[in-house]
Amino acid sequence: MWDSRARLCRAVGVVYAAALALTPASSAQAFDLKHTQGGLDVRWAVPRVAFVVDPRLNEAVASGAEAVADAVEPWSGVAGAPLLSAATGPVSPMPALDEKNSVLFLHDFAAADGALAITIVSLEEATGYIVDTDIVINANHAFAVLPAGARASSNSPLVSTEGSSQSVSSQVFDLTHVTAHEIGHSLGLADEAANAAALMYPYTRAGDASIRTPGSDDLSGIDQDYAGADLGSGSAQGCGGGASVAGRRATHFSSPAALLLIVAGGWLASRRWRRGLAPVAILLATLLLRPGRAQSAHPSSVEATAHVTAATTAIVDGVFQTTVDLSPRTCQVAVCPAHATARVWGGTIGGITQQVGANVVPGPRDEVDVTFQTDPRGLAPTTAVILAVRPIAAASP
């Protein structure tokens, strides 16, 4: 017969599992985390992560290597994250899955498009554990180490750090700020568009160096991502001291859910767990079971909705790239092609997933919103640009 402690631990686990399964993938807090395709949080499982800085960065930007070190230092060891370091050294000419975490300075790097910089995170799909990360500073833009606290002029426009503009800007951006933002991505944080005070806010201005270190929102994200992580063994400690062989599934409890879990704990602790577990689970289902939100695009730019019929991933310039075959389902322009293809940076090969910037890689049977690019000579198949992805679980039948 189980002793009371074991029975209590198992009962708490059942209540927690019910809340975990029923909680939607949205969050009351502003920060956002990177997740695997299966919903696991993305994070490191080692105590130290070293970055190697491309010597070309220091040649192109005065004190560039020092700026990278200054960008890394405030993230090091915070809220349970690994200790970080950065030093100049030999790097591969392109990003590579080589277990060397590089900060590269590259011209005309296709995966970066028009972004100021881009982070390529390689992870184990089964666990969410990061195995390699490369940051590419886009040398098509102008960078400098601006005076600390420098402010942009009042008429300076917001520029997306992850943007796709093809124009080469002559305006100067703060290397420390841009690198610090990308370091957040390399630790497992996603962009946070709802909080302009956060370092993970995906916009900046030329001439602005006012935000260079993680704020409270960024640190809260790291705290949630690395809560309970044992970086020495790559495991997370569970109830009763057991170890998990995978990362934590994304959990974002609403306030009512948290209250109900507290109430459930009280019922269980008072040995009424047999009577208390069922009504608590029902109430959790009532309050927490809400439909998830799909990623969306601006309606005016969508020319069609299509199904992904096939997806193939290969390595291009050291980065995973996925080619998807599309079958348009609904057309919002005069004529749509019967078939199209699209290419997205990122994907999965041999159990390793690469997340490239903010790209979302669709899989077979997913539904996507697209716009088309047709070869005017008619010599190539119609290509599409994916504007939004709705995974199969969220797509309409």
pLDDT digits (tens, 9 = 90+) for 126-164: 999 999 999 999 999 999 999 999 999 888 888 888 775
Highest-pLDDT range among 47-56, 271-280, 362-371: 47-56
Structure tokens at 34: 């990177």
Q: End-to-end distance of the chain based on CA atoms, in angstroms?
A: 47
CB 248 within 8 A of CB 80: no
pLDDT of residue 150: 94
Q: pLDDT value at position 250?
A: 57
To the nearest 10 degrees (0 to 180), the angle between helices 255-269 and 4-22 is 160
Burial 34-61 (b: 16+ CB within 10 A, else e): bbbeeebbbbbbeeebebbbbebbbebb
Helices 216-226 + 175-187 axis angle, to 10: 20
* Mean pLDDT confidence for 264-292: 46
- Give the least confident one: 126-130, 237-241, 278-282: 237-241
Residue-level pLDDT at 323: 97
93: exposed, middle or buried (Cβ count in 10 Å: 0-12, 13-18, 19+): exposed
**Interior CA angle at 292 toward 289 and 296, to 5°?**
165
Span 112-121, average pLDDT: 93
pLDDT at 87: 96
Question: Side-chain half-sphere of 203: how many Cα atoms within 13 Å?
Answer: 10
Pairing of strands 235-237, 243-244: antiparallel
Structure tokens at 362: 């669709």
According to the model, what pLDDT value does residue 8 have?
45
- Bridge-based pairing of strands 48-53 and 243-244 is unpaired
Residue-level pLDDT at 274: 52
pLDDT exceeds 50 at position 292? no
Percentage with pLDDT > 70 across the chain: 71
The pLDDT of 54-65, averaged and rounded, is 96
Domain 48-225 has CATH 3.30.430.20: no
Residue among 59, 56, 88 at smallest CA distance from 72: 88
Residue 200 has pLDDT above 50, yes or no: yes
Check residues 234 and 357 and name the one with the higher pLDDT. Answer: 357
Cβ-based neighbours of 147, under 8 Å, separated by 6 or more: 209
Instruction: Kindly tell me the burial class for residue 195, based on how many C-beta atoms sit within 10 Å of its own C-beta (0-12, 13-18, 19 or more).
Output: middle
Q: Which residue has the higher pLDDT, 225 or 28?
A: 225
Q: Decide which of 244 and 367 is more confident.
A: 367
Listed in order, strand segments (DSSP E) in 14-129 are 48-53, 83-88, 101-106, 117-124
Whether 15 shows a pLDDT value over 80: the answer reads: no
Q: In Å, what is the CA distance from 327 to each residue of 70, 317, 376?
A: 48, 28, 21
Tens of pLDDT, residue by residue over 309-342, are 999 999 999 999 999 999 998 998 888 888 999 9
| pLDDT tier for residue 7 given thresholds of 50, 70 and 90 | low
Give me the count of residues in the chain.
397
Position 262 scores a pLDDT of 46
Residue 46 CA from chain centroid, whole number? 19
Higher pLDDT, 12 or 323: 323
Q: Which of 111, 123, 164, 159 is nearest to 37 (CA)?
A: 123
